[in-house]
Structures are given as C-alpha cells and as structure tokens.
Chains A and B, each alone.
Chain A
C-alpha cells in the first residue's frame, strides 16, 4: 500500500499543485486547508492505517501549526513532520523543530527539494521503530557509533569525546536539520542551550578533521540561523 501524506496548507493553488505532484510520485495525499480539517482527517485516518508523513504549513487561518504538532505528539503519532514556512527568519520554525518537527522547507521551494526531504524523513521514521542508525557512510567517511570508530579514506580519525558526541548526534538524524538548541542540550546539557559559540568551535574542529576543505564543507552542512545538517548518507 502506498504511503499516506497529510498536507496541511491553506493556499489553494499551492495545495492542489503539491497534491498532484505527490500523487504522481506515488503517495496517497490527504489535503487539509486548516487545523480543523487536519484534525478531522487525522481522526479518520487512524482507522485506515494512519498517516506516514505530515507536511505542515505555519500560520493557518485557525491557528498556528504548533498546535497540530503538539496534538500529534500527544496522540503518540510518530509520523515525521516537515514544516513549510513562508517566513524567512522567523522563530516559529525553530520552535517547531525544537518541539519535535523533523525538518523544514522555506517557501518558495522546488519539488525536488521537497521530495528529497520527504525521503530522508520517511527513512528516519522506519528507524524510529527499529534500532537507531549507528552507521554512516559518505564518500570516504565511515562512522560506526557502536564501535566508536571514525575513518576517512581508510585512515582512522581521532576525535575527542565531545567531538564524537556531536558527530554521533548528527549521525542519528543524518540528512535532517538538528537545531543549535538540540545539539547543545544533547551534547553539553540543558543549561548550555545558549552557548552557541561552543558549537562553532567544535564544528570547526570536526570539519578540520573530516572535510577536505573546511570552508566548503560537503558533509557537515550549516543551516544559517537554524542549526546543522549532516549530508544524506551515500555509499
């Protein structure tokens, strides 16, 4: 059975364009124009196998996407949520990511970008039920979290414990953005969430060890103002 996507978007044109594009890609699409619609569809979908992925626009006519996210998570729905934000530098996007959304896209975006994000999110959803990702490969970089082993082009790379914790956190969500706050809380502790300068320092050290040209990273990518993203794994 095809994967079911809940698309919550209040703009009619964009909604129908996205719906058609996703149907062409083989997804089953439930489209909602408001939070109320989305609630309705969610309840209905429970009985028919549930939702596999949510595309959530911010700033809906009857409230903010945040309400839906918390409702979803309360109902123990593990479907990944991708936030679609029209606002370039607004905090709600980051708040949603911190609150458990899986990724974000800023309008306007290309279809290719959307499909790539959806693929990554769906892959992670699979692993949410199974054991977490512990291996990562990209070019010559191999990371094995269980064995605490990192190698680049076959040569062992030595990382400090903090560097390793930071890298491991990114590997667990490879391909997806991890916010500054999430990284700081998970690697340093909840009281360090404002200490962004730690992150800058350790990311620079990691890039120096793992990237051919640290100023032009291919793996440890920066999402300005939001966080970091480890490039999608590739053999």
Chain B
C-alpha cells in the first residue's frame, strides 16, 4: 500500500542522514555516529516497505563501514573493535524497519476496516430511506464491482413466490451468461454462498453471494474474480455484509407491501360489509313503501279517489326523497372510508353553512321548529362546505325525527379554545347510555338489528346508522370529532368540534379606506 511520494520521503530521509553524519564526523565518536544511522533507518521505515527498507539498511551499514569505520576507505573490519557495532547496527535497523512496516500494515488494515464499516452503514441508511430498496441496486452493484475490481451482477426478488414451484419475479442488474444466471438463481434459492473459500464450488472464478434476509434470501450477487484478492475472506465477508443489507431491506419492503395490501383488503372488505348492511337494512323500507304506493296507483287507479291518489303520490315523493338522502349518505360514507380521500377544502363561513342547512331542512319541517344560536365573530373554517352541510343536515333531520313530536331543535355554533363547536340539540327522549358510544358505528359492527333495544322503534331509527356513521366520518376527515352528549334536562346534543386554522391574510384594501357612497 506504499504510494510513490511516501517511498520518496524514505529516500529523502536516507539522503539527509549522510550529510549529517559527514558533518558530525570528527566531532563525535563512532558509536554516536552509528545512532544517526539507526535513527535514519527507523524514520525511513515509516515510509518504505520492509524489503527496500532492509536493503537500504544493509547498504547504509556497508557504506558506514567504508566511510567511517577505521581503517577508512576499506571494507576491512577490526574484528575485535567494530564487528559487533556493525552487526548490532544492522540487526537494530532491520528490526526497526520490520516493526515499522508491520505497524503501517496494521494501520492500513484499520483504515480499510473503518472505510468498509462506513460503506456498510451508508448503504444501510440509503436503503432505509429508499421507498423501494431495489431502486438502489445499482449502488450496491457499484460497491461490489469496486471491491473485486470487475463488473458485478445482481438479482433481486420483486415478487416472492407465494405458492410452491412458482418462480419468483426478479429484476437483474448487470450482464450475465446462462451459467451465471443459473448460479445466481441457485444461490438465491439455497441462500448459501458459492465460489473460492466458501467450501462450495471452489473451482468457480467468481463468488455467488445470497442477499440474505431473516427468513430466506431475496436475491443473489455475482462477483467475478479476475484475481483472488490477497485478503479473500475479509473481502468476501464485507461483500456478504453489503449483500445482507440489501436482503434485509428487500425483506422489509416486501413485508410492508404485504401489510399494506392486507390492510387495504380488510378495509375494502369492511366497507363492503358496511354498505351491504346499510342497503339491506335501510333501503328496503322506503323501497317497499314506494313499491306498494306506486303499484297501488298503477293497478287501482280507476277505483281510487283523487284525494287517495294524491296521498299515494305524496308518499312516493317523500320516500324517494328519503331514499335519495340515504344514497347520498351511503356514497359519501364509502368515499370518506376510501384510503387517500381528498376533501375540497376552502375558507368557509360557519354562518353560511348553518344558513344553508336550515334553509334545506325548512323545506321539509315547519320553520319555527329549528332555532339558531350562533356566536358572533366566528372564525372562518378551512373545510369542505358540501360535507359539513351534509353532516349538519343529517343531524338536524335526526333531531327533528327522534327529538320528540313538534319539539324545537337547536343549532348552535360557538368558539371553544382553538376549536369551533357545532351542536345540534333536541329535547327528545335521548339515547340509552348503552347506545351512546355505538350509535355512530352501527353498521361497522354488523349487529345493528340485534343490538337495538327491545323498546326502540326500529322503523323510526332507519337510516340513522348510515347517516351518523357518515357524520362522524366527515368530522374526522376534517381533523375533528363528533360526540353525543346527554343534556341535563333531557334530550341529546350531537356536538362536532372542528379545529380552527389560521385564516389567510385579509384583503389589503380594508373596508375603512372605502369611501361611502353618496346618499
């Protein structure tokens, strides 16, 4: 791992040591001069690899002998006086060189290790952030190719086999021939590595590594080996760790997909059940009434008085109207239950919404029965007006129908902290405590008919189930909640709390700047 400039530094150290020794020559004794050489050997050992370093040391000791050891200018050595010094010098400088290079190797390995750990963690983070980890396959492929110095290939599971003998569907990155494709498939299936050092198919000139998850493997990688790396097992270990990151990520993604699909399926199933219950329970009665009235008009027209015919027609109109509202509620409930529903929100005035509701309701009920109590200065709501009108209309309709014959119904709106409270109150018999929590999800439970208390007038309650479920869905879609509260002196209060959002900036030209019209 020695780079050229580092080797050059080693040479510089040697080159500088000689003038220094020549300079010191004559001022210090021979042993001290030898220390300079040993120091140079140690320093140069930092940058030189072991063999050149040891050769340099040997050459230096020889030269030292030639230049400084008496008799100078010859390689002759006085055995008694200087042989030991020269041998010690050589031995010490070699040992220092060896130690130094060993140290350097260790540091190098440490750095590589840190780099790989970082790479592994980086890949892990990338995969975690990716919507689909398979989109990041190219990144893994690049890392593996770099690791072995040859183009790698990847096979990743897109759709696992759900039944035995079914081929899972894959995506493939990188070119492979038929044998390699078969090897990748086998590796994925068995979840075990192949190639040199793995104990399986040692003769291959490539590693086949599985992308392992916890349960099984979710693909395989092909690492072609132009030459087996020196530290093969470490490289393979790192490659396997990278592959396992991908395997785990794919496993997570597949699990999430399955869970989402199951959730959607359950929701759709739930919705279907809800709608079927609604249709079977709520729709049959008005349909039966329309059917009997219409067939009576059709079959007995000649024998009915004008008054009787008019009454039948009026019944049909009323029941059809009821059916229309029921349909609107059911459809709205279905829409709101769907995942990813988008509301048509705008800035709406509470006063206008309540006004529109009252206007509609009064077409069906005597005007004086509905009373309004609106706090002045209510903030604008950021909401879907059509939905809120539908919700309040349902609540007022219910109150008129079940709130006692001819008793007044109150629509109230006031601010409560950072919420606006819309309430519809009646003075009717109220709702039995056991029913208060369940009245909103009658059809969700599928036990509406059985759950009705014996005293309850089932025919009077028809339509309330879907209607109230729809009302609560509207409140929740707006980030609010709909609750039923029993009033202290009898009656029910349906209260919808909606969050207040900061209103937009007012109009730049304020009303105060406008001049009054000439009277």
Contact = CB atoms under 8 A, between A and B. Distances in A.
- The judgment on whether A and B are partners is yes
A225 B518 CA distance: 35
Contacts of A215: 351, 354-355, 358, 372, 374
Contacts of B270: none
Contacts of A214: 351, 355
A203 B356 CA distance: 14
Nearest to A194: B346
B389 A224 contact: yes
B372 A216 contact: yes
A156 B503 contact: no
B432 to A, nearest CB: 33
Interface in A177-235: 180, 195-198, 200-201, 203-205, 207, 213-217, 221-225
Nearest to A161: B514
A39 B179 CA distance: 66
A204 B378 CA distance: 11
Interface string A83-122: 0000011010000000000000000101000000000000
B384 interface: yes
Interface string B321-359: 000100010011000000000001011110111111011
A128 B35 CA distance: 114
A167 to B, nearest CB: 11
A189 to B, nearest CB: 12
A197 B514 contact: no
B380 A197 contact: yes
A205 B384 CA distance: 22
A184 to B, nearest CB: 11
Contact of A222 (B332, B344, B352, B384): B352
Interface residues of A, number: 34
A19 B339 CA distance: 41
Given A160-B511, A215-B372, A224 B385 contact: yes
A162 B507 CA distance: 12
B385 A225 contact: yes
B5 interface: no
B186 interface: no
Nearest to A94: B344
B317 A110 contact: yes
B380 A89 contact: no
Nearest to B514: A160
B160 to A, nearest CB: 41
Interface in A129-147: none
A159 B503 CA distance: 25
Contact of A108 (B320, B353, B358, B385): B320
A148 interface: yes
Interface in B470-519: 503-504, 506-507, 511, 514-519
Contacts of B356: 221-224
Contact of B349 (A156, A160, A195, A204): A204
A91 to B, nearest CB: 8
A161 B511 CA distance: 9
Contact of A213 (B372, B503, B506): B372
B114 interface: no
Contacts of B328: 88
B324 A108 contact: yes
B386 interface: yes
Contacts of A88: 328, 331-332, 386
A158 interface: yes
A162 B511 CA distance: 8
10 contacts: A89-B387, A91-B344, A195-B507, A196-B347, A197-B380, A200-B380, A203-B349, A215-B358, A216-B355, A216-B372
3 closest residue pairs by CB, A with B: A197-B347, A225-B386, A224-B385
Given A160-B517, A216-B358, A224-B348, 15 more contacts: A88-B328, A88-B331, A88-B386, A108-B320, A160-B511, A180-B346, A196-B346, A196-B348, A197-B347, A197-B380, A203-B352, A215-B351, A216-B359, A224-B353, A224-B388
